[in-house]
Structure 1
Amino acid sequence: MFWKKMAAGTDYPHPLSMLDGSLRKENVIVTRDEKSSTFENLKQPSVGKPPRHLAAIRYCVSTAQLAPAPEVELDIEIVNSKSPSNGNSAFVPVFRSGSCAEIGSKPFMEDEHVRIDNILDHLGATENFTSPGAFYGVFDGHGGTDAASFVRENILRFIVEDPDFPFCTKKAIKSAFLNADLAFADTGSLDSSSGTTVLTALISGRTMLIANAGDCRAVLGRRGRAVELSKDHKPNCASERIRIEKLGGVVYDGYLNGQLSVARALGDWHMKGSKGSLCPLSAEPELEETILSEEDEFLILGCDGLWDVMSSQCAVTIARKELMIHNDPERCSRELVREALKRNTCDNLTVVVVCFSPDPPPLLEIPKLKFKRSISTEGLNLLQEELDGKS
């Protein structure tokens, strides 16, 4: 059995000490060589799991074009005082991203991620993608690295080559996830029993489509408030449990069929049986569409190693304060990883932060109150979130 949650290793120095070390630029690869991105070349033998002596930081890099940041005190109070735009503005997003990946306390690093800030440059001349856009993804592997590596290299190609793209992008993305899952099973040279969760963000102009299969999470920072754009597919989630049991599966101690801690994933063909058969472990993603406005400041994509120890609102609060100080999404992602390690996360960590403006988040106006406020910014945003949900 391939368990997604593996026992923590015991022969590693504290990860925080490694965060302050030198970065390995040779491992900073958003996409591999164009010639190796074809389907045939992906059938080469896998290099397998990283050795135990692999450096803790896999990659930590930014594409930020920094604008001057204002002088801001770290303990500044941030309050959301405006409602989201109605979408009629002339806002044009500018994509800047940074990422950080860390092995944590696990014996192997099985996460992968991709960042493409200019999808037109990446794809070259194509009639299927005419608007300025970007593509990002986080892939949390388990049972080996083969599935996560395969999906990272191929998922965008499966999307843009789908016959429904770009006229019905949602359908194209769903088909791409399923086709990538089937293609991985057919590679032959890769370990089809390995698996991966998949979280992607495809942005065209102001339209952002989040697709998720698994327990990674996408969170939008909207003027200091956290807006969750994906749902964690855990087996004991009510809707997932119902779907699993209808298809003959069981949830035992939070694990699907007693083996896997996620309800949706690509790969894991030792659990899926023959192609075309109904299976409790689904590769079909759930999608969420968002029209970006000037209220939307940044996006956080993170594997469950982050969300196991941090709420969505906490991550947005930390990220916004960091961006107000230095306006660097790479440093921001690194700080989120550092904070998760301080909170003793037991998993690999991968965080991607995407900014939608060249400027840092603005200092928001604090509403005048007739009584002394004794609640934190995070508490105020959580309270507003609850009130919005009951309205």
Structure 2
Amino acid sequence: MNYRSKNHFSSLNNLIFDINSIKKQKENTSLQKEHQFDVSPTQKKQIRLKKQEINYHSLVDLKQLTRSRNVVLPNYEPTRCSQNNNGLIKAYAANTNQGIIRNYNEDRVSIILNIIKPQHRSQETWPKCAFFGVYDGHGGSTCADFLRDNLHQYVTKQSEFPWNPVAAIKKGFQMAEKDFLAQALEQYGKGKQERSGSCALISLVVGDYCYVANVGDCRAILSQEKGKKSMELSVDHKPEIEYERIQKNGGKIYQTHLINENGIQIVGPYRVFPGRLSVSRTFGDIEAKLGQFGGNENVVIAEPDIQIFRITQENDFIVMGCDGIFDKMKSEEVIKKIWSELESQKNTHNLHGQISAAVDSVLKEVVLRKSSDNITLLIIAFNELVVQQQTPQSKINSISNQIELLQIFLKNKINDENQPEFNQKKQSPVSQLFHKAERKHLHLKENQETTVNRVRSSFNF
């Protein structure tokens, strides 16, 4: 995400409009249609553009949001999801997309399962560990790439890990920040201006505990009790929220005011100085942090907030997303949308596919609401989320009866093999009577065999 460039998207301001202004535009357009002979070519073009604008804005209407399944994401790549469970992690799925405005994507996702302990600690018995990260880059993707490839190593290679994950996270984040700023400074020395930065949100699963650490305005939400409850696991690090800390450390907060093409005043987001960022905690952003560039290392910081919870049957899943998601959807809306999609997919009996479909569903919803940012979402499921459809009792009884019939057939076959052949004996009146009974018995056996063959085919015997 490029925070510095948000002011340059003046065309996006047209997305924020008043319903009454649209009605007036429609009325003016209809009046001009009635007097087309008095309209100049330039005016006709303006009318056509206004009509297109109205049609474009009408997509924002919440009545049309139900068509999210038909939305096509630009440069879409299929959502990546798990194939098998991994300890307490039953499934996961993630996707990132450039969105509908930008032709680039600075978001990154990291998923590392079964973290391997270093060789010098091979004698230790480690719990099962996994690492999930969402990185929302701005000013370029270099910082987000660095975090995707390295942040998990900075955390898990600390001596405190895995027995003191909080300390490991804090030290790992601090070292990652220090090393990236050093690399950016080195690039400046080579004549390359490396201004990129990134927000970071991670979920670190250690045994049956989950540690959620956040730097920036990505957001994590925990769904509980089959969606009946939800809890935010992170705080959006915005300048207006951290006003006291920023001011105390010598920073300032300001807000831009613009006039759009229609003469309507648009108020921009709160920003922090130095840095001119609309977020108050990041990795990177060398010009906001180093004094030689006019920065202040105590204003925009990379210190994480950390939340901890134990993974139990009451905890359904975690949602991790960039602010491109939550700029258009509230946390409760995201959870509700996911559960709605899970319910619609429950007959697939595939939790991995269900989670994947839920990720796609949220991304399409955000696109319908005209998010101007890159959009990224990751879901980690801790339980089977929807009750799978049970086999009807009548079908169970039918299967049981067929199994019993198969057992009777096999028993009769064994008994028959131990009996003498009737057709080798002399046909006496008594034997004829037995022969008649045998034919009847064979007829019953043929009927049983037909049924058994049907049973065998159904069970793939």
Could you say whether these structures have the same fold, taking a TM-score greater than 0.5 normalized by the shorter chain as the test? yes
Unaligned segments of structure 2, at least 5 residues: 12-55, 60-67, 256-269, 346-350, 389-461
Paired amino acid for 1:94: I
Residue of structure 2 in register with 1:279 after alignment = 298
Cα separation, 2, equivalents of 1:274 and 1:166: 36
Residue of structure 2 in register with 1:143 after alignment = 139
Indicate if the aligned counterparts of 1:59 and 1:99 stay in contact, CA closer than 8 A. Answer: no
Partner of 2:148: helix, strand, or coil?
helix
Paired amino acid for 2:375: L
Cα separation, 2, equivalents of 1:63 and 1:113: 14
Paired amino acid for 2:287: H
Indicate if the aligned counterparts of 1:174 and 1:284 stay in contact, CA closer than 8 A. Answer: yes
Partner of 1:5: helix, strand, or coil?
helix
1:263 aligned onto 2:280 = yes
How has the CA–CA distance of structure 1 residues 342 and 7 changed in structure 2, closer, same or farther, with 3 Å as cutoff?
A: farther
Paired amino acid for 2:362: L
> Mean alpha-carbon deviation: is it higher for 184-193 or for 253-262?
184-193
Percent of residue pairs identical: 28
Give 1:171 deviation, angstroms. Answer: 1.2
Cα separation, 2, equivalents of 1:183 and 1:293: 37
Unaligned segments of structure 1, at least 5 residues: 22-54, 67-91, 364-391
Q: How does 1:350-365 map to 2 (within 5 A)?
A: 350-357=376-383, 359-362=384-387
Paired amino acid for 1:210: V
Residue of structure 1 in register with 2:240 after alignment = 236
Cα separation, 1, equivalents of 2:178 and 2:125: 25
Cα separation, 2, equivalents of 1:335 and 1:214: 25
Paired amino acid for 2:93: G
Cα separation, 2, equivalents of 1:58 and 1:6: 29
Give 1:94 deviation, angstroms. Answer: 2.8
Cα separation, 2, equivalents of 1:7 and 1:150: 27
How has the CA–CA distance of structure 1 residues 4 and 242 changed in structure 2, closer, same or farther, with 3 Å as cutoff?
A: farther
Indicate if the aligned counterparts of 1:97 and 1:115 stay in contact, CA closer than 8 A. Answer: no
Indicate if the aligned counterparts of 2:220 and 2:318 stay in contact, CA closer than 8 A. Answer: yes
How has the CA–CA distance of structure 1 residues 6 and 166 changed in structure 2, closer, same or farther, with 3 Å as cutoff?
A: farther
Determine which structure has more spread, i.e. the larger CA radius of gyration.
2
1:339 aligned onto 2:375 = no
Partner of 2:6: helix, strand, or coil?
coil
- Name the structure, 1 or 2, with higher relative contact order (CA <8 Å, separation 6+): 1
Indicate if the aligned counterparts of 1:9 and 1:106 stay in contact, CA closer than 8 A. Answer: no
Partner of 1:345: helix, strand, or coil?
coil
Partner of 2:328: helix, strand, or coil?
coil
Q: 1:318 aligns with which of 326, 329, 337?
A: 337
Residue of structure 1 in register with 2:217 after alignment = 215
Cα separation, 2, equivalents of 1:299 and 1:138: 12
Partner of 2:243: helix, strand, or coil?
helix
Cα separation, 1, equivalents of 2:130 and 2:164: 18
Residue of structure 1 in register with 2:197 after alignment = 195
Residue of structure 2 in register with 1:98 after alignment = 93
> Mean alpha-carbon deviation: is it higher for 124-133 or for 157-166?
124-133
Give 1:114 deviation, angstroms. Answer: 1.0
Of Structure 1 and Structure 2, the greater helix share is in: 2
Indicate if the aligned counterparts of 1:18 and 1:56 stay in contact, CA closer than 8 A. Answer: no
How has the CA–CA distance of structure 1 residues 269 and 338 changed in structure 2, closer, same or farther, with 3 Å as cutoff?
A: same
Indicate if the aligned counterparts of 1:147 and 1:192 stay in contact, CA closer than 8 A. Answer: no
Q: 1:349 aligns with which of 375, 389, 403?
A: 375
How many residue pairs were aligned? Answer: 297
Give 1:7 deviation, angstroms. Answer: 4.5
Give 1:59 deviation, angstroms. Answer: 5.8
Partner of 1:315: helix, strand, or coil?
helix
Residue of structure 2 in register with 1:289 after alignment = 308
Give 1:174 deviation, angstroms. Answer: 1.0
Residue of structure 2 in register with 1:3 after alignment = 4
